Chains A and B, each alone.
Chain A
Amino acid sequence: MLRAFVIILLFLFIGEGIQTMVSLSIPGNVIGMVLIFVGLQAKLIKLEWVKPASDSLTRYLALFFVPPGVGLLLHLSLLSQYGVPILLTVGISFLITLASTAYVFHLSQKPK
């Protein structure tokens, strides 16, 4: 378990490092995610080395989003200032994105 955490944190560290050095707009944790996948695929690291930590971390992913989500509190006045048109724009666009992505995949699956 400890080894698994160390490896995952190392990949996060490398990802953050690359992000700072190249000043990419892609966040360091996403770079770390791509790198660890490449590392596994290239057999540089073994699945058993990282699986214990990755299983428990991803089990609680939703929980880790709660504190940043509470940050909405800071933007309540900004949101209410712009109000309904913003919520409508974002809401409808969310529905379009969700449905079109899933639907394109769904259609591409059907035999011709």
Chain B
Amino acid sequence: MFFISAKSLNDMLIGVLLTLGIFFLAESIYQKTGFLLLNPVLVSIASIILILLLSGYSYESYMEGGRLISFLLGPSVVALGVVFYEKLQEIGASLWRLVLAVCLGGGMSILSTWGLSQIMGLSQEVSASLLPSSVTTPIAMGISAQLGGIPSLTAAVVILVGIAGAAFGIPLLKLIGIQHEIAWGAGIGTSSHGIGTARALEESRLCGAVSALAMCLNGIFTSVFSFPLVRLMEYLGG
């Protein structure tokens, strides 16, 4: 039981090399071009999926190595608490307005997803799966299950929304005339959880700290309010 088989060791190496190598290339390309569609997370995920599909190398084998990298996700999220502590002084007086904005934004997320699902004529099951799409994966999957959704569909849309937030969040906010780092962090963290927060951190540590707080608050807000809000709308809708 203390052995790691040669096959498994090879898979670990391939998974780690592929992830680090592609991410390194994607970051260099992004730094050279600065083109927002070439966001490193977006490019890395898309390229690795393509490589796996074309080569027939299985996802399970890739994850032997992938797991070693994504293990660090847990400690990194904990580390966001440290960044937030460091930036608390700078956030200071804005804190309560930030909490207000995140709760309103989180409420808008639930209401708009529910409303749009009705307009699109999606089934109850699918609507429930989409409802928590702005919060971090484990919270979203829990809410989805509670509402009678399909948790794996939820996981997929959560990742898509995160990638969208990372690639387009800040440019979109600049486009509508918002030029404040704290406002960017609030919008990104509320709408696109951890993947967005990673991008916000690249903008500045203040932006990242705000985004981490917004992600955390919206996660709690959504898990508490999505069920009552859906019931309320069903009641109002007759």
Contact = CB atoms under 8 A, between A and B. Distances in A.
B121 A85 contact: yes
Contacts of A85: 120-122
Interface string A9-38: 101100110000000011111101111110
Contacts of A28: 74
A5 B75 contact: yes
A91 B220 CA distance: 22
A61 B45 CA distance: 14
Interface residues of B, number: 109
Nearest to B222: A25
Q: What range describes how many residues of A lie at the interface?
A: 35 or more
A2 interface: no
Contacts of B112: 92-93, 96-97
B82 A47 contact: yes
Contacts of A88: 116, 120
Given A63-B69, A90-B161, A27 B79 contact: no
What secondary structure prevails in chain B residues at the interface with A?
Answer: helix
Interface string B16-56: 00011011000000000000000011001100110011000
A57 interface: yes
Contacts of A29: 73-75, 77-78
A37 B6 CA distance: 42
B75 A9 contact: yes
A88 B106 CA distance: 19
B79 A8 contact: yes
B223 A69 contact: no
Contacts of B120: 85-86, 88-89
A95 B172 contact: yes
Contact of B97 (A54, A86, A105): A105
Interface of A: 5, 8-9, 11-12, 15-16, 25-30, 32-37, 40-41, 47, 50-51, 53-54, 57-75, 78-79, 82, 85-106, 108-109
Q: Sorted from nearest, which 6 A-B pairs have the closest CB atoms? A: A101-B105, A67-B66, A102-B187, A75-B156, A54-B79, A62-B198
Given A15-B78, A58-B83, 15 more contacts: A28-B74, A33-B84, A60-B76, A65-B198, A66-B69, A67-B15, A69-B159, A71-B59, A78-B156, A79-B160, A89-B117, A97-B190, A98-B190, A101-B108, A102-B183
